[in-house]
Amino acid sequence: MEALFTYSLKVAAVTAVLYLLWRILLRKETLHRLNRVILVLTPVMSMILPFCVITVHKTVSDPMPETGIATGALEEVAQSSVNTWTIFGAIYLAGVAIVLLRMIWSAIRLYSLIKDGEKHILEDGSTLIISEKDLPPFSWMGYIILSRNDYEAGYPEIIHHEKAHIHLRHSMDILLTDFLTAFQWYNPAIWALGSDLRGVHEYEADECVIKEGTNPTEYQLFLIQRAALSSGLSLVSGLQSGTIKGRIKMMLKGHASWKAGLKALYIIPVIILTLIACSKTVSEYAPGEDSEPKKVAFQLVDEADLLPFSLVEEKPSFHGGDANEFSKWVNSNLVYPKEAKDHSIQGRVTLTFTVTKTGKVKDVKVLRGVDPLLDNEALRVVSASPDWTPGNQKGRMVDVTYTFPVIFQLR
């Protein structure tokens, strides 16, 4: 769960930086298509970039003979204890669920309107839905939804505007960004981005209506008259979406020059800085001239060095012994991967696993890894553990969770 939060915070930071720079540099430009592409790609790039980890290998001279040391220490925590990360995880997942349920509810209401409405196929292939409910006009995918009053009033501007939303596929943008917003619900930048994206959609649709020959002044007055209505559906594109003042200002502006589009190059340094921030350095030790051939040795920590933290009355035991017995067993079965030795890969692999009330070892996972070679070897050994004697709490067997760091070190 800790790794998930770290990743999520990285995504939130990159999203906020990209969005803030867009607002500063491009928000007021009439480059609607470019702005739309940037706003859609911002959350997508933010979720991909933290996975792009550049590994830098650094060679360090080491005149000492090289040995491999795998040291195991145990820390015990009763599974019934309240874990801070568990609380954070529950809050985070609850937020994700609420946003996704909101999307689903909006889709259900939309489906109901389409199903119950009177259907007409237009010449461009889109479907006009006439609803008996008093609602503002809006579009979704290939559907245009109008109230009976708007349909009978015969406003051509409405049809032209909603057709533009359909032909420009604005619904796909909204669906993608709303879905990604669910996983960043605590990030104000992603909500503001979604709102601005809908505004850019309106700029594009307004531009299409005016290009079709509609008088700009009459169209602007028409928008002002209808500004008070709202559909209440989060997934749709509607005539009243966005601020009317901003849309009118954008209509009155001239087209921006291609030079204004060069501001979008701000994305490049942000990507580079993100890759640098997510990079990691691996030290590779070069043996000195007088070094002995490589060999592998496994050492155990003294029991006095073990600092177990137990919240159970009777801790689980391994082969009738204390925590150090499990360390001995791990070290006797651990094999330092040859490829890892050849490339001087070393580090501390922290695992977590649970000793169940039946003594079985399950849910073996890597909390903090070093390299797949070392991670997989540590997982292999711990997963193969024989049965334990389970822990006891108030006269009954309980599950107990352990953290187990294995240190692979070349000296």
Length of the chain: 411
Q: Is 120 helix (H, G, I), strand (E, B) or coil?
A: strand
Instruction: Tell me what the mean pLDDT of segment 3-8 comes to.
Output: 82
Q: What is the pLDDT of residue 322?
A: 72
pLDDT at 282 exceeding the cut of 70: no
Q: Are 219 and 209 in contact (CB under 8 A)?
A: yes
Token pair for 196: 């601005």
HSE-CB at 289 with a 13 A cutoff on CA atoms is 0
Q: Name which residue leads in pLDDT, 362 or 250.
A: 362
Q: pLDDT digits over 302-341, tens only?
A: 333 333 334 677 888 888 877 778 888 888 888 888 888 8
Q: What is the pLDDT of residue 338?
A: 87
Sheet holding 237-238, edge to edge: 118-121, 127-131, 143-147, 138-140, 237-238
Token pair for 118: 């009177």
Q: pLDDT digits over 148-188, tens only?
A: 888 887 777 788 888 889 999 999 999 999 999 999 999 99
Please, what's the b/e burial string for 342-352 (b: 16 or more CB within 10 A of its CB; e: otherwise)? eebbbbebbbb
Q: How confident is the model at residue 297 (pLDDT cuts 50, 70, 90)?
A: very low
Q: How confident is the model at residue 54 (pLDDT cuts 50, 70, 90)?
A: confident
Q: What is the pLDDT of residue 236?
A: 54
pLDDT at 378 exceeding the cut of 60: yes
Q: How confident is the model at residue 234 (pLDDT cuts 50, 70, 90)?
A: low
Collect all residues with Cβ–Cβ distance below 8 Å to 312 and sequence separation of at least 6. Answer: 76, 78, 391, 392, 393, 398, 400
Q: Name which residue leads in pLDDT, 370 or 54.
A: 370
HSE-CB at 80 with a 13 A cutoff on CA atoms is 14
First to last CA, the chain: 33
What CA–CA distance (Å, rounded) separates 394 from 397? 8
What pTM value is reported for the model? 0.61
What CA–CA distance (Å, rounded) separates 277 from 163? 44
User: Tell me, what DSSP letter sits at residue 67?
Assistant: -
pLDDT at 125 exceeding the cut of 90: no
Q: What is the pLDDT of residue 82?
A: 43
